[in-house]
Amino acid sequence: MRLIQMDVVPVHCQVTLYVPDAEQEPPLWPTGREAVVANSGTIYVNTICDVDGTVAVEVWSGEVPAPLHDLIYEGFLQVRDAGAFVGSYTGNQLGALVVPEGEHRVRVYAAYPHADHVIFVLD
């Protein structure tokens, strides 16, 4: 089931799925060329830059009917009281997700290195 779909301006060439009250600070980009940097509270995905257009962002619960791109990340997100948000943090375009508290397995699909469509799947 799709939880949200939106187009965002990828300021600093990234989109994110994050928990605002996470225990860990957001991760840093070691080189800026990684497909994904993540920890238990934030997942950043490297995308096209804002001058190249918008990025379509989707969040699904369960299975995606047909993944359009390669699996570029698999990990976990620890959702707390404040819930989770997705979109462009630096571009101030965020969508709130209704996700229960707890640890959620997350898969990210995108066409790295020129991602203009990112799919987050929460299990």
pLDDT in tens, 3-46: 999 999 999 999 999 999 999 999 999 998 999 999 999 999 99
Q: Report the pLDDT value the prediction gives residue 39, as an integer from 0 to 100.
A: 98
Q: Can you tell me whether residue 13 is helix, strand or coil?
A: helix
CATH of domain 2-122: 2.60.34.30
Q: Is the peptide bond before 113 cis (omega within 30 degrees of 0)?
A: yes
Q: Quick one: the chain helix, strand, coil %, rounded to 5?
A: 5, 50, 45
Domain ranges of the chain: 2-122
68 is written with which tokens? 């359009």
The pLDDT score that the predictor gives to residue 67 is 66
For the entire predicted model, the pTM comes to: 0.95
